[in-house]
Amino acid sequence: MTRKYLLESLLLSVLLTTALLFGGLLIPVGAVPGVLVVDDDGKAVVGDCDADVSAFSSIQDAVDAASPGDTIIVCPGVYDEQVTISKPGIRLVGVARDDVIVRPSSLSLTAPSLYSGSPQAYIILVNQARDVSIESLTVDGEAAAQTFSGCAPGFMGIFYRASSGIIRNVKVEDVRLPDNLLGCQTQLAIFIQSGYGRALKARATVEDSIVINYGKNGITCNEAGTHCTISNNYVQGIGATDRIGQNGIQLGFGAHGRIISNTVKDNFYTPEKYVACGVLIFWAGGTVTGNTFSGNEQNICNSAGVEMPEHPPVKP
């Protein structure tokens, strides 16, 4: 399958969405408003990743140039960068999930936790922005993980900070520290967090995605005001370990959500003091239905508002 074919297929999806916004009129390929293209060689055009036409070579440069509501199409390549999105309505879409890889070699940028204020290093941050979509790309933390010398700052793959939107058909992998630091608690592949006040609420959907080889948690939704719908994902921990009590999916500290039809496996802590969980509901509420579990120490841990010290949650 050629890069041109992939991009044309993705463009059709964008066009159909755009058509709804423009009264059902399909707009010609060369005149699509609000569509920016990124290719790691800096050459592409809407409809053809191999075109010899200047394009953005950096995802962040495209985000900075975009207007609220724009779509950013990312061609196949490896992008050594952190990405910060603070504009509403941005749609960041890879041409093909396994071929568009955001893999920073280091993490110089951090964002403070809305609970503790502690710094959180991230690969992709959506910061106080509404209706932001991240689709069809891979977030890879392997290279950046090697640069940590301690537990601070925290380590996040995708961080929706007081933001809303959809994470769809992404792969988040290797957001975990080296073995000598694997006991650090703030290693979260996907983190969705609210702050205090109406303007700082978070609401996100995570669907049809793969989350593997994380440190502490796969998908985490924390704080009052946070609402998550987590569906049809594949979430896999590292298996039996004495280094960290993993949780595949966590709703914590006042968050609410729906955890539906996910596959969650291989979260198992061998020491007897604590228990690793496929799904952990800790001082939170919601529904857990239709999920498939295997290889977890305990499949569902539900505190029902009562502290359960044997199921330690993470609260950055």
- The answer to whether residue 80 sits within a structural domain is no
Cβ neighbours around 2 below 10 Å, total: 10
Range of the domain at 117: 106-302
CA distances from 295 to 91, 266, 300 (A): 35, 4, 12
Q: Are 243 and 214 in contact (CB under 8 A)?
A: no
What is the average pLDDT across 113-122? 96
Q: Residue 282 maps to which CATH number? A: 2.160.20
pLDDT at 15 over 80: no
- The answer to whether residue 140 sits within a structural domain is yes
- The answer to whether residue 10 sits within a structural domain is no
- The answer to whether residue 27 sits within a structural domain is no
Count: domains in the chain: 1
- The answer to whether residue 229 sits within a structural domain is yes
Cβ neighbours around 9 below 10 Å, total: 12
For the chain, the residue count is 316
Tens of pLDDT, residues 21-43: 323 323 333 335 599 999 999 99
- The answer to whether residue 90 sits within a structural domain is no
Q: For residue 12, what pLDDT band results from cuts at 50, 70 and 90?
A: very low
pLDDT at 138 over 80: yes
- The answer to whether residue 191 sits within a structural domain is yes
The predicted pLDDT at position 24 comes to 34
pLDDT at 92 over 50: yes
The predicted pLDDT at position 69 comes to 96
Please spell the DSSP secondary structure of 40-76, one letter per residue. Answer: TTSB-BTTBTT-SSB-BS-HHHHHHHPPTT-EEEE-S
Q: Are 275 and 240 in contact (CB under 8 A)?
A: no
Strand, coil or helix: 170: coil
Helices (H) and strands (E) in the chain, counts: 3, 26
CA distances from 150 to 113, 118, 160, 173, 180 (A): 18, 14, 24, 20, 9
The predicted pLDDT at position 306 comes to 39
Q: Are 215 and 187 in contact (CB under 8 A)?
A: yes
Partners of residue 37 on adjacent β-strands = 73
Q: Are 226 and 192 in contact (CB under 8 A)?
A: yes
CA-to-CA distance for 145 and 308, rounded, in angstroms?
Answer: 30
The predicted pLDDT at position 4 comes to 55
pLDDT at 13 over 70: no
Tens of pLDDT, residues 216-270: 999 999 999 999 999 999 999 999 999 999 999 999 999 999 999 999 999 999 9
- The answer to whether residue 52 sits within a structural domain is no
Half-sphere exposure (Cβ direction) of 295: Cα atoms closer than 13 Å: 14
